[in-house]
């Protein structure tokens, strides 16, 4: 009985301990993301990035943005539905125009939340990244 109280105090209010089922769901999400990235690159990337580009650069970019946006939309689904988490964005309402979001961090974890925000704004295929060497 005391160990249960210690776990609750350790994890704080609203947090639950990491169970084998939670680990399995997390590993499953990572495996699905990696496998779908490879499949999309092999089957969709070649046709949209190479073959279609010979005929029209404009449609090649549109098709690549569509494939990329479709793959990025998979992350919020896995993150929120499979892992049963909820991401809440708060703050001022952003107008529906072009925006630049700068994240000056040493990790790519922020990208996952950027994908979530892009999905909610309907801009999945329009994300661009710039990286610099540190």
The pLDDT of residue 56: 87
Residue 12, φ and ψ in degrees, nearest 5: 80, 180
In a domain, residue 133? The reply is no
Average pLDDT on 120-132 reads: 73
In a domain, residue 78? The reply is yes
Under a CB-based contact definition with an 8 Å cutoff, are residues 73 and 123 in contact? no
In a domain, residue 134? The reply is no
The pLDDT of residue 69: 79
Residue 116: how many CB atoms within 10 A of its CB? 18
Domain that holds residue 65: 2-126
* pLDDT tens digits, 78-116: 777 777 777 777 777 777 676 766 666 666 667 777 777
In a domain, residue 93? The reply is yes
What is the pLDDT confidence band of residue 118, given thresholds at 50, 70 and 90? confident
pTM, to two decimals:
0.57
In a domain, residue 132? The reply is no
> Looking up tokens 């939340």, which residue turns up?
113
How many domains is the chain built from? Answer: 1
In a domain, residue 26? The reply is yes
* pLDDT tens digits, 12-51: 556 677 788 888 888 887 888 888 888 877 777 777 777 8
In a domain, residue 38? The reply is yes
Q: Is pLDDT above 60 for 9?
A: no
What residues have CB less than 8 Å from 17, skipping those under 6 apart?
7, 11
Picking from 99, 16, 14, 39, the residue whose alpha carbon sits closest to that of residue 4 is: 16
Q: Is pLDDT above 50 for 2?
A: no
């Amino acid at each position: 009985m005391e160990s249960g109280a210690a776990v609750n105090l350790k994890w704080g209010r609203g947090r639950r301990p990491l169970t084998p089922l939670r680990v399995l769901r997390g590993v499953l999400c990572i495996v699905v993301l990696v496998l779908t990235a490879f499949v999309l690159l092999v089957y969709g990337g070649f046709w949209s990035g190479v073959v279609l580009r010979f005929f029209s650069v404009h449609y090649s970019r549109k098709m690549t943005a569509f494939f990329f946006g479709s793959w990025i939309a998979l992350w919020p689904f896995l993150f929120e539905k499979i892992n049963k988490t909820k991401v809440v964005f708060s703050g001022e309402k952003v107008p529906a125009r072009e925006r630049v979001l700068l994240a000056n961090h040493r990790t790519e974890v922020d990208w996952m939340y950027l994908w979530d925000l892009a999905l909610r704004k309907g801009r999945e295929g329009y994300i661009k990244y710039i990286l610099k060497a540190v």
